[in-house]
Amino acid sequence: MTNLPLKKNISRHPAFWINTIALVLLAVVPPVLFISGQPFWLDVFTRLVILALAATALNLILGFGGLVSFGHAAYLGLGAYAVGIPVYHSLYGGMDSIASFNGFLHIGLAVGISALFALLTGAISLRTRGVNFIMITMAFGQMIFYAIVALENYGGDDGLTIDVRSEFPLISLDNPLTLYTVCYLSLLLVLLIVYRITRSRFGLTLQGARSNEQRMRSLGINCYRYQLIAFVISGAICGYAGFLLGNFTTFISPEMMDWTRSGELMFMVILGGAAFLLGPVFGAAVFILLEQLLREVTIHWHLPFGILLILSVLFFNGGLAGAVSRLRSFKNQ
Amino acid sequence: MDTSLLFIQLLNGMQLGILLFLLSAGLTLTFGIMDFVNLSHGSLYMLGAFICASLTQLTGSFILAALLAIPLTALCGLIIELVVVRQLYSRHHLDHVLATFGLILCLDTLAEMIWGPAGIAIPLPAFLNGQVEVFSGVVIPTFRLLIITVGLTAAAGLYLLVNHTKIGMLIRAGASNRTMVGALGVDIKTLFTGVFALGAGLAGLAGLLVAPIAEASIGMGNEIIITTFVVIIIGGIGSMKGAFIAALLIGLIDTLGRSYLDDLFKLIMSSEAAETAAPAISAMLIYLLMAVILAIRPQGLFPAASR
Amino acid sequence: MNSSQQTILDVTDLCKRFGGVFATDHVNLSVLQGEVHALIGPNGAGKTTLISQLSGVLKPDSGKIVFNGKNMAGKPAHSFARAGLARSFQITSVFTEMTLLQNVALAVQANAGHAFSFWRDATTDNSLLEPAYEYLQTTGIAASANKPAAKVSHGERRQLEVAMALATEPSLLLLDEPMAGMGPEESGLMIEILQNLSGSKTILLIEHDMDAVFALADRISVLVYGKLIATGNKQEIQANPDVKSAYLGEDTDA
């Protein structure tokens, strides 16, 4: 067996170059804008990169796993409160065991609690499919929202200010450029992780289950376990994004985990093209920049935004990636 | 425990349950028959409240306004179905979710542009604004009794419609076998539009019943829609009976949890700990209930026959 | 047939009811090691219901499905596959957006046990691709290895079904109408492929195409209205009066 016909050399693929250019632009443009006296745009891009990271995590289960989770903003919130609560206690006392400014502890809590929440809710949600799954993940997300609202010690509805950012040796997240660099490198790392996962045996099993679950079972695969693990990985990464978001905004409130936030995250994934590695990054970019643009035009920016959303679903099936590939096949005809 | 207080809380729970049923009935019908997930159902609830508020100001009569607001909200639903929803029946659920999410953004913003960001209260006529002494020592607001009466009447009407009319027969047949009903030569498009508008009218009714107590406000639908989802998940998606039972269950548990959980917790923990834990747990109570029920019955209490 | 052959699948008293009607009515069936056993019956005989139970998709109401000495009745579908019982589907069920090679590689991977490997690239893993390619050769579709399953002909997808079932290295192959929807030429090719397998594999074949059944089967069982009315070799089945009246007497292509 020698002449195994394999498709090789991804660098010839146009998507490879589009992705590379996008990632290079993200590395260069925001710092240049910042240095040339436009700190506002660095803020926009920091938010963009953090949400792109969260959307990439969601893409692992939504795009590659075919599991429409509508509760992922909860993990952003859990991650952010994993910074806010220890910082609150180290300033105002109480809960000595977690009261700390230590960034590694914050990351550990953000990722650990998110993974645990994903495990518990995923174990129940994944027993269902389709609409049930959508609504159940939504309800569990909202459960965390209400739980935080009810925790009046930590500001409840009014939110919580993070007075001191997570502390790390050598670097300070108080410097906006450092924070952006950390977020950007985190995004690269997460993209690499998701890339490797989707090409691993685990990832292929996950995609097989998306494509044809009955067939996977008849091949002897218990899909539930794989989907649950993917759900946990996705939640944990999203929790890490929440850790970054907390350090970026320094003000956190239950509003950031409202179900409409989950909807926005999902929309980023679909807009960019699900099951396409950098789709969520493009989706987040279009989403954030469009939002910024429309905000400047009208305070009622949600109206044109909503209309665009509906139109994109009606006429733009498959997201940006889908549109590009349709365009290509149209040209080839 | 104060029994008259308990009685009032039971009635409050029932009132919430009735409102949830009005909302979930439309949602579960749309899902059961059209296989369509409508996130913007809550926005129709909000529209019902605002339309009724405006009409009350205009006509000076809440009753008249309410009677007009129901068909007007149904009309809004009709337009939404014709313009957006109709194009999506054949699509994946994900597309339903995204498009109706866009609808929420549009409807909420439109409402804000028309009625302003602040809420609008609806003044009640004197004969509804009073209180009734149900039995000695137990006094409840007249309007709450009205909500429960109207809600139960609507539920009975729905029951008759679905189980004892030709349209209802089509609705039930459609819920169990969509292609069959189409093959029978029934105009399926008109049936779908009608059912969607009916659901919208019911949501509007729920909204205008709430408005005099809590006022009409932007985003009021987005809070209650999730609770409505919990109701139809627990009841079993597509099941009217399930929606009714689950709505009352959720209404009662949520209301009683918020009122009595801290007393209950004080029996087993320090009162300080109870005061911290009880609000958080009671806020999560219905979701925990949902988790338990789903762990035992993934399809809900009354799964509709075919799914 | 050699009576010393071991029984690999032993179905006893299997019942499944829908409403009040028996779809599977006290079925007794045994498949011997190494044979090609065909299951035939007119439309509505309950073949699909039976095979669904034999692969764990449906739970039987009562009865035993002893496979390799273990009672599998009531276990989930993936347990049947892990135990060595692979099936193909009457309505083609493959991963349409993947290439043929990827389809079979996934089946090879499934057979290799758990897939809790998160980092190593499996898409270029020759320990998966090489055996996968061999199964494509065995089933005659190696030339289309890199085409997405959605883009190949119906016949090729049917062959892919068989390739995927083979890739799980089953001790019993359950083929649900492998010739369904094929033209005469494609059917001929499939018969040839199955004939090549028949020496080395035990096959339970559900098939409408009588030419195929008589060409391939060592033994034939006849299912009518959920009941197994006869089992025997070609001559015995053709001579059986019950079968004649219930089945062969009607339209033979049923």
State whether residue C113 sits within 8 Å of chain A by CB. no
In a domain, A267, yes or no: no
Q: What is the pLDDT of residue B179?
A: 67
Q: What is the pLDDT of residue B255?
A: 93
Q: Kindly indicate whether the ipTM for this predicted assembly is greater than 0.90, answering yes or no.
A: no
Instruction: Choose among A272, A286, A278: nearest CA to A187.
Output: A278
Residues in chain B with CB shorter than 8 Å from the CB of A302 are 105-106, 108-109
Surface-to-core class of residue B2, CB atoms within 10 Å of its CB (0-12 exposed, 13-18 middle, 19+ buried): exposed
CA A213 vs. chain centroid, Å, equals: 25
Chain A (222-261) residues lying within 8 Å, Cβ to Cβ, of chain C: 222-223, 226, 229
For the cut 50, the answer to whether the pLDDT of residue C253 exceeds it is: no
Q: Name the average pLDDT for chain B.
A: 88
In a domain, A315, yes or no: no
C133 and C182 fall within a common domain: no
Q: What is the pLDDT of residue A10?
A: 53
Number of inter-chain CB pairs under 8 A, A vs C: 118
Q: What is the pLDDT of residues A76-96, one digit of tens each?
A: 999 999 999 999 999 998 888
Task: Calculate how close chain A gets to B205, using CA atoms only, in Å.
Answer: 24
For the cut 80, the answer to whether the pLDDT of residue C131 exceeds it is: yes
Tokens of A81: 């409160």
Q: What is the pLDDT of residue A321?
A: 62
Domains identified in chain A, total number:
1
Q: Which helix (H) or strand (E) holds A328?
A: helix A319-332
What percent of chain C has pLDDT above 90?
A: 50
Q: What is the pLDDT of residues C165-201, one digit of tens each?
A: 999 999 999 999 888 888 888 888 999 999 988 888 9
Chain A (113-142) residues lying within 8 Å, Cβ to Cβ, of chain B: 121, 124-125, 127-128, 130-132, 134-136, 138-140, 142
Separation CA C104–CA C166 (nearest Å):
9
Q: CA neighbours within 13 Å on the CB side: how many for A135?
A: 32
Least confident range from A203-212, B170-179, C59-68: namely: B170-179
C51 and C98 fall within a common domain: no
In a domain, A94, yes or no: yes
Inter-chain residue contact A153 with B97, CB threshold 8 Å: no
Amino acid letter, C25? D
In a domain, C119, yes or no: yes
CA B20 vs. chain centroid, Å, equals: 4
C105 and C71 fall within a common domain: no
Residues in chain A with CB shorter than 8 Å from the CB of B299 are 128, 132
C67: pLDDT confidence band, cut at 50, 70 and 90? very high
Structural domain boundaries enclosing C70: 1-84+171-254
- Please name the residue ranges forming H helices in chain B: 3-34, 41-59, 62-83, 93-115, 126-129, 142-164, 166-176, 178-183, 188-214, 220-235, 240-268, 271-296
In a domain, C156, yes or no: yes
Separation CA B227–CA B208 (nearest Å):
18
Task: Calculate how close chain A gets to B14, using CA atoms only, in Å.
Answer: 22
DSSP class per residue in A86-133: HHHHHHH---TTT---BHHHHHHHHHHHHHHHHHHHHHHHTTS-HHHH
Whether chains B and C touch (3+ CB pairs under 8 A) is answered by no
**Nearest residue in chain B measured CA to CA from A121:** B291
Inter-chain residue contact A5 with C55, CB threshold 8 Å: no
Separation CA B10–CA B6 (nearest Å):
6
Q: What is the pLDDT of residue B64?
A: 94
Whether chains B and A touch (3+ CB pairs under 8 A) is answered by yes
For the cut 80, the answer to whether the pLDDT of residue B174 exceeds it is: no
In a domain, A132, yes or no: yes
Asked whether A39 and A259 are in contact (CB, 8 A), the reply is no
Q: Which of C55, C56, C95 sits opposite A208 (nearest CB)?
A: C95
C1: pLDDT confidence band, cut at 50, 70 and 90? very low
In a domain, C104, yes or no: yes
State whether residue A205 sits within 8 Å of chain C by CB. yes
Q: What is the pLDDT of residue C225?
A: 86
B168: pLDDT confidence band, cut at 50, 70 and 90? confident
Q: What is the pLDDT of residue B31?
A: 85
Surface-to-core class of residue A231, CB atoms within 10 Å of its CB (0-12 exposed, 13-18 middle, 19+ buried): buried
Give phi and psi for A64, each to the nearest 5. -85, -30
Inter-chain residue contact A202 with C117, CB threshold 8 Å: yes
Structural domain boundaries enclosing A132: 38-257
Inter-chain residue contact A314 with B101, CB threshold 8 Å: no
In a domain, A12, yes or no: no
In a domain, C195, yes or no: yes
State whether residue B283 sits within 8 Å of chain A by CB. yes
State whether residue A1 sits within 8 Å of chain C by CB. yes
C189 and C156 fall within a common domain: no
Q: How far is CA B125 from CA A124, B81, B129, B143, C204, in A?
A: 48, 34, 6, 10, 78
DSSP class per residue in A213-269: HHHHHHTT--HHHHHHHHHHHHHHHHHHHHHHHHHHHSEE-GGGGSHHHHHHHHHHH
- Give the pairing of strands B131-135 and A251-252: unpaired
C176 and C78 fall within a common domain: yes
Q: Which residue has the tokens 């006022």?
A: B215
Surface-to-core class of residue B110, CB atoms within 10 Å of its CB (0-12 exposed, 13-18 middle, 19+ buried): middle
Among C142, C169, C196, residue at a domain's last position? C169
In a domain, A243, yes or no: yes
**Nearest residue in chain C measured CA to CA from A2:** C130
For the cut 70, the answer to whether the pLDDT of residue B102 exceeds it is: yes
For the cut 80, the answer to whether the pLDDT of residue B24 exceeds it is: yes
Percentage helix, strand, coil for chain C under 3-state DSSP, each rounded to 5: 40, 25, 35
Q: How far is CA C17 from CA B303, C53, C59, C72, in A?
A: 20, 12, 11, 19
Range with the largest mean pLDDT of A241-255, B256-270, C11-25: A241-255
State whether residue A198 sits within 8 Å of chain C by CB. no
C42 and C159 fall within a common domain: no
Residues in chain B with CB shorter than 8 Å from the CB of A270 are 94, 98
C3 and C79 fall within a common domain: yes
Inter-chain residue contact A196 with C98, CB threshold 8 Å: no
Q: Where are the beta strands (DSSP E) in chain C?
A: 7-18, 21-32, 36-40, 62-67, 70-71, 85-88, 172-176, 203-206, 219-224, 227-232
C129 and C163 fall within a common domain: yes
Q: What is the pLDDT of residue C254?
A: 39
Among C137, C169, C201, residue at a domain's last position? C169
Q: How far is CA A37 from CA A40, A41, A94, A174, B54, in A?
A: 9, 9, 42, 18, 49
In a domain, A332, yes or no: no
**Nearest residue in chain A measured CA to CA from B103:** A306
Q: How far is CA A59 from CA A51, A78, A243, B197, in A?
A: 12, 19, 19, 35
Q: What is the pLDDT of residue C248?
A: 55
Surface-to-core class of residue A116, CB atoms within 10 Å of its CB (0-12 exposed, 13-18 middle, 19+ buried): middle
Q: What is the pLDDT of residue C147?
A: 92
Show the low-confidence residues of chain A (pLDDT under 50): 1-2, 8, 330-333
Q: What is the pLDDT of residue B137?
A: 72
C222 and C252 fall within a common domain: yes
Q: Which of C80, C82, C123 sits opposite A199 (nearest CB)?
A: C123
Q: What is the pLDDT of residues A232-268, one digit of tens each?
A: 999 999 999 999 999 999 999 999 999 989 999 998 9
Domains identified in chain C, total number:
2
Separation CA B241–CA A173 (nearest Å):
55
The whole-model pTM stands at 0.90
Asked whether A178 and A171 are in contact (CB, 8 A), the reply is yes
In a domain, C89, yes or no: no
Instruction: Choose among C203, C149, C206: nearest CA to C179.
Output: C206
State whether residue B102 sits within 8 Å of chain A by CB. yes
CA C2 vs. chain centroid, Å, equals: 23
Q: Which helix (H) or strand (E) holds B139?
A: strand B138-141
Inter-chain residue contact A7 with C118, CB threshold 8 Å: no
Q: What is the pLDDT of residue B128?
A: 85
Residues in chain C with CB shorter than 8 Å from the CB of A203 are 118, 122
Domain ranges of chain B: 3-218
- Give the pairing of strands C7-18 and C85-88: unpaired
Chains that touch C (3 or more CB pairs under 8 A): A
State whether residue B94 sits within 8 Å of chain A by CB. yes
Chains that touch B (3 or more CB pairs under 8 A): A
For the cut 50, the answer to whether the pLDDT of residue C252 exceeds it is: no
Surface-to-core class of residue A167, CB atoms within 10 Å of its CB (0-12 exposed, 13-18 middle, 19+ buried): middle
In a domain, A271, yes or no: no
**Nearest residue in chain A measured CA to CA from C97:** A211
Surface-to-core class of residue A333, CB atoms within 10 Å of its CB (0-12 exposed, 13-18 middle, 19+ buried): exposed
Instruction: Choose among B241, B210, B236: nearest CA to B223.
Output: B210
C180 and C250 fall within a common domain: yes
Amino acid letter, C153? S
For the cut 50, the answer to whether the pLDDT of residue B114 exceeds it is: yes
Q: How far is CA C191 from CA C51, C137, C145, C194, in A?
A: 21, 15, 21, 5
